[in-house]
Amino acid sequence: METISENACFGGTQGVYTHRSESCDCDMTFGLFMPEEAQHGPVPLLWYLSGLTCTHENAMTKAGAQGWAADHGIAVVFPDTSPRGEGVADDEAYDLGQGAGFYVNATEAPWSKHFQMYDYITKDLTSVLFNAFALDETRQSITGHSMGGHGALTLAMREPGRFASVSAFSPICNPTGSDWGKKQFSAYLGSNEASWSAHDASALMAEKGFDGPMLIDTGTQDQFLDLLRPETLAEAAAKRRQQINFRMQPGYDHSYFFVSTFMEEHITFHAEALYA
């Protein structure tokens, strides 16, 4: 692992680091905020998964998470959204290829060589974080925005017992029923649609649910509502009687103005679960 930068931030440190990923077969970059409390022992970790077109940098600089995380003594990691670099497959469209990993393990060429984002998050980056930093592996929560909200929800339900809580900002809730999902899953996972449901939050809610608290915020003026399909997740959660706080926020869109507005509430929500 190499240090790209470290800056004092709300009494702690905002760092950017790069490391070799075996899963993605390339170098990967991530941001990590460590609160002041990490100087005295391991602290809880909140994962923040970003959306389409983003790198590690978008949420790190726009979401306003560090100040609220510092108040609760919580670390926040900002992974990249896809593999990058020379020889890594890409596409001219913004919603496929680099910047659009969808947090799945691709099985189809040319994507399968590098696009192993599920394993990257759950294995490679996890190993780096808990070996190199003062983080408490027994206290983790996860959140994300848009494609990253899809990632947060699916990882939380597919990795039972790992995360104390999960939240999402305007998540892609039903990718198997949306052009933000059908296109990418066809490319990454192939034409067998039966395999897609393992990466669909609404399908996973119906099948598994989540053993803990959930918080979902979506704006009523989100310009991508028809692609996000929040109603599918709400219906599945209601049928399952899942513990969930599902909120449609009046007037808000899909931007980081929306995310930053409700970031304090999301971090407080996770802090309550992490310190329970």
Amino acid letter, 262: F
Task: Give residue-wise pLDDT tens across range 135-193.
Answer: 999 999 999 999 999 999 999 999 999 999 999 999 999 999 999 999 999 999 999 99
Share the mean pLDDT of the chain: 98
Q: What is the pLDDT of residue 116?
A: 98
Which of 56, 254, 266, 270 is flagged as catalytic? 254
Give the number of domains in the chain: 1
Q: What is the pLDDT of residues 199-221, one digit of tens each?
A: 999 999 999 999 999 999 999 99
How do beta strands 12-21 and 2-9 pair?
A: antiparallel
Domain ranges, residue 73: 2-274
Task: Tell me what the mean pLDDT of segment 81-107 comes to.
Answer: 97
pTM above 0.95, yes or no: yes
199 is catalytic: no
**Which tens digit of pLDDT belongs to each residue from 235-245?**
999 999 999 99
Q: Give residue 231's pLDDT.
A: 98
In the residue annotation, 266 being an active-site residue is answered as no
Asked if 222 is an active-site residue, the reply is yes
Tokens 């999301």 belong to which residue?
266
Q: Of these residues, 21, 222, 266, 270, which one is catalytic?
A: 222
Return the SS3 of 43.
strand
pLDDT over 70, % of the chain: 100
Question: What CATH number has the domain bearing residue 205?
Answer: 3.40.50.1820
Catalytic residue chosen out of the listed positions 146, 167, 170, 202: 146
